[in-house]
Structure 1
């Protein structure tokens, strides 16, 4: 009797200028396998890619780090949170790990982190996979715009952010917009909430929430980068995402008209309930662009 191959996955920490970056890395069957850098979203961490890594890790080298303030990554006292700093640490992590050529998978927060890295190191990026990772103003729902408009010191602003960091708020990010919530395991939001409840984590998320406006200020630059470098691109998008709706996916085609676009009837965390559909698309894309 034969069984589907399941990948061997390593779980490690790597010191990056005093930040102990936790990461997951599959061990493929051949050393020259295509490399996929998986950049996670909010309020999650690298564990959101566990099933994808299990399915594809024998054929490809999948690397998924946790950002500072997320998952198992540990930071020194006084670490200043902002999207520039997340990108700094992630870029240094990539360099320390010796990755110099990879396809980049960006989801949610992974988009502002990943596009900052792409601007700095375009030679690293051989292809782009986007899952509900926004880089266009039309990809912001009214709820997202209201959230981004919050400013520190404004009455009720911090409380509004902290309301999202509760268990109902975390669970809602997984289930809102999902076509069949029974396909979404509760482990994801439960583990996310565990990490959010660790000392200092909510403060980190408040700081990042107030810094999110810095990403919108870079949208023009990221779109120009896409037009200039025209990376091969696969877009897989939960069309009923209450924060980053379908127009954000279609907007990529304006700058990458050759991109492959697939929309799914689900919410923000499309991998949770559409892994059987998305994993083959990812595998096919890697096979096509890796030469």
Structure 2
């Protein structure tokens, strides 16, 4: 059975936030999907069809990515992005939600779990970023130079979408024209680059070990064995620092686990959710 998606925009903290909603009338459980850096809801396109059989799904494009606003006035800190997701959940009258965060989205999911443990029943971290420091002072200073956003655009253009996908996907045969076009699309408009420049400035460091130790929400960590972006060693350390967590390692998989192993990821999520429900 396929579930129809509803595309919506909601104004939060002075910017438009785009999200896709996949209602499932037979389920009382809601999952919020949070994508990674330089990505969008597109990265969950192969996982969503599995999830919609069991859950209500909300997939959010974090500003300034995907189809969300690219305001130069928005605060692109993890704390503010987490608060924005919380406000959307409250606006939609959601409670006891499951958060699935990929890469940077995992760090934002952890922020939400830390800020509002009452709102979150469990967190699924897919190759989550962790232990990254704030941008270096020299880079922050440079970001104030007029037209710095042009350097950001050139830097991204130099690496190119194909090379970036080769870095994040272990099985290169998965890379096709649809994938390349889907990940490239948000960067065809120039307004994203000034917003990305501000994100460099606004982003604080990842949550400290001390804060991670305080998070008691059940956390499932799913990692690609061959992740070149956030290595498996990071997942193992995160598993140690989160007191209520479990780590699953996917063989022959890179960083982009929702694209590479969607069915496996779904089965682990379902299994974890059932165990969590049984223990409540």
With the shorter chain as reference, the TM-score category is: 0.7 to 0.9
Q: CA RMSD in A?
A: 2.8
Cα-to-partner distance string for 1:228-264 (whole Å, 9 max, x where unaligned): x2x2221111232222101111112213465332222
**Aligned CA distance change for structure 1 residues 179 and 115 (closer, same or farther; 3 Å):** closer
Contact kept? 2:131, 2:205, Cα under 8 Å: no
Corresponding residue for residue 286 of structure 1: 273
1:165-244 equivalence runs, <5 A: 165-166=156-157, 168-176=159-167, 178-212=169-203, 214-216=204-206, 218-226=207-215, 229=216, 231-244=217-230
Q: Could you say which residue in structure 1 is the equivalent of 2:231?
A: 245
Per the alignment, residue 112 of structure 2 pairs with 117
SS in 1 for 2:118: helix
Cα pair distance change 1:12/1:165, threshold 3 Å? same
> 1:159, 1:251 → 2: CA distance?
37
Measured after TM superposition, the shift of residue 76 of structure 1 is 5.2
1: distance between equivalents of 2:241 and 2:77? 27
Contact 2:110-2:123 at 8 Å conserved across structures: no
Range moving further from structure 2, 75-84 or 51-60: 75-84
Q: What are the residue-to-residue correspondences of 1:98-109 with 2, within 5 Å? A: 98-109=93-104
Q: 1:19 aligns with which of 6, 11, 15?
A: 15
Partner of 2:129 in structure 1? 134
Distance 1:164 1:123, change over 3 A: farther
Q: Tell me, what secondary structure is at the counterpart of 1:122?
A: coil
Count of aligned pairs: 273
Checking the alignment, whether the CA contact within 8 Å between 1:152 and 1:158 is kept in structure 2 is: no
Q: 2 CA distance for matches of 1:79 and 1:239?
A: 36
Cα distance in 2, alignment partners of residues 278 and 184 from structure 1:
19
1:110 deviates by 1.0
Give, in whole Å, the separation in 1 of the partners of 2:13 and 2:243. Answer: 39
- Shift in alpha-carbon separation, 1:85–1:285, aligned structure 2, 3 A: same
Maintained 8 Å contact 1:111/1:133: yes
Q: Distance in 1 between matches of 2:180 and 2:211?
A: 30
- SS of alignment partner, residue 198 of structure 1: coil
Q: Cα 1:132–1:200, aligned 2, differ >3 Å: closer, same or farther?
A: same
What's the TM-score once normalised by structure 2's chain length?
Answer: 0.84
CA distance in 1, matches of 2:170, 2:266: 18
> Which residue of 136, 140, 144 maps to 1:152?
140
In structure 1, list runs of 5 or more residues that go unmatched.
138-144
Q: Which residue of 2 aligns with 1:140?
A: none
**Aligned position for 2:63:** 68
Mark the CA change 1:161 to 1:111 in structure 2 (over 3 Å): closer, same or farther.
farther
Change (3 A) 1:225 1:167: farther
Does 2:90 match 1:95?
yes
> Per-residue deviation at 1:105?
1.0
Match of 1:176, SS state, is helix
d(CA) in 2 for partners of 1:76 and 1:43?
A: 16
1:6 and 2:9 equivalent?
Answer: no
The alpha-carbon distance between structure 1 residues 97 and 168, as it changes in their structure 2 partners (threshold 3 A), is same
